[in-house]
Amino acid sequence: MKKNIPEINGILRSNMIKVPEAIREASGIIVLGKRIKSLVFSTDVAVIRNTNADAIMAVYPFTPQPVITQALMIGSDKPVFCGVGGGITTGKRVVNLALDAEFKGCFGIVLNNPTSNQVVARVRKTIDIPVIITIVSEKEDIQARIDAGADILNVSGGKDTAKIVRMIREQLPRIPIIATGGPTDESIRETIEAGANAITYTPQTTGDIFATIMDRYRESYDQLGKLGPHIGLIK
């Protein structure tokens, strides 16, 4: 029997980024007492505050900085998994950034794929929150990553993601896996069926969303010669 789930929304936050319903079919991962099935891939605080995802995957292509981590933690109303380097940023700096992220309240830290197992081990010995390592190829030595201290695998293999997840799941039936789900319900379900416990979702940019809203405003002018029904929202 399908459960009746009451839903309450406010007017000002009704326009939010909702993750695909297919993600709810995942088993989820319980991290520090919270069950997480969906993660939005973003460092945009406006997006982070206006999504129904269970958590945030905040990884970005620049050198990690504590001030960015602090801004993410202040702006988020849900668990944040924060990138701390491992590619351009290496060694002791990664360890220090991971510890700082824990102190600031992150639910877990994400290490980039090039991170050596030695650094993974040093991070694992230093912090108490989960260590997440990014996997991009089926040719990687996954067991060595786990032995070094990785708690969760973050699979990001592009079109091969489901294939990589399936390979990992066959060898390691109990390791928690987060994976990119792709743009459609079909690709998300394929990734979940392959063995992913949670799915990351890349939302539209705020620029794309704004473009849609601005088109609607212009349409109102064209039809009515004035702002139209949304005039009451302007203060």
Average pLDDT over residues 114-137: 97
Closest CA to 149 of 171, 116, 172: 116
Closest CA to 19 of 205, 200, 194, 206: 200
CB atoms within 10 A of CB 215: 10
Whether residues 63 and 150 fall in one domain: yes
Whether residues 68 and 153 fall in one domain: yes
Whether residues 63 and 163 fall in one domain: yes
Confirm whether 159 is domain-assigned. yes
Which range, of 70-79, 177-186, 187-196, 224-233, averages the lowest pLDDT? Answer: 224-233
Whether residues 168 and 234 fall in one domain: no
Three-class SS string for 170-231?
HHCCCCCEEEECCCCHHHHHHHHHHCCCEEEECCCCHHHHHHHHHHHHHHHHHHHCCCHHHH
Give the Cα separation of 122 and 145 in Å (integer).
12
Closest CA to 82 of 97, 90, 92: 97
Given a cut of 80, whether residue 1 has pLDDT beyond it is: no
Whether residues 139 and 212 fall in one domain: no
The strand pairing partners of 153, in sequence order, are 133, 177
Whether residues 41 and 146 fall in one domain: yes
Whether residues 101 and 210 fall in one domain: no
The strand pairing partners of 57, in sequence order, are 41, 81
CB atoms within 10 A of CB 38: 25
Given a cut of 60, whether residue 235 has pLDDT beyond it is: no
Whether residues 198 and 213 fall in one domain: no
Whether residues 104 and 180 fall in one domain: yes
Q: Which domain does 218 fall in, by range? A: 204-235
Confirm whether 222 is domain-assigned. yes
Percent of the chain exceeding pLDDT 70 equals 91
- Strand pairing report for 34-36 and 152-155: unpaired
Q: What is the model's pLDDT at position 225?
A: 56
10's tokens: 């406010």
Q: What is the model's pLDDT at position 228?
A: 53
Given a cut of 60, whether residue 229 has pLDDT beyond it is: no
Q: What is the model's pLDDT at position 93?
A: 94
Which range, of 56-60, 72-76, 189-193, 227-231, averages the lowest pLDDT? Answer: 227-231
Give the Cα separation of 144 and 172 in Å (integer).
12
CA atoms within 13 A on the CB side of 53: 27
What mean pLDDT is reported for the chain?
90
pTM for the full predicted model: 0.87
Confirm whether 30 is domain-assigned. yes
Given a cut of 50, whether residue 129 has pLDDT beyond it is: yes
Average pLDDT over residues 124-129: 97
Confirm whether 105 is domain-assigned. yes
Q: What is the model's pLDDT at position 13?
A: 67
Whether residues 194 and 211 fall in one domain: no
Average pLDDT over residues 221-235: 54
What are the tens digits of pLDDT across the range 25-61? 999 999 999 999 999 999 999 999 999 999 999 999 9
What are the tens digits of pLDDT across the range 195-220? 999 999 999 887 887 787 787 777 77
How many structural domains are present in the chain?
2
Confirm whether 15 is domain-assigned. no
CATH number, domain of 51, equals 3.20.20.70
Task: Find where tokens 């970005």 sit.
Answer: 60
2's tokens: 């399908």
Q: What is the model's pLDDT at position 234?
A: 43
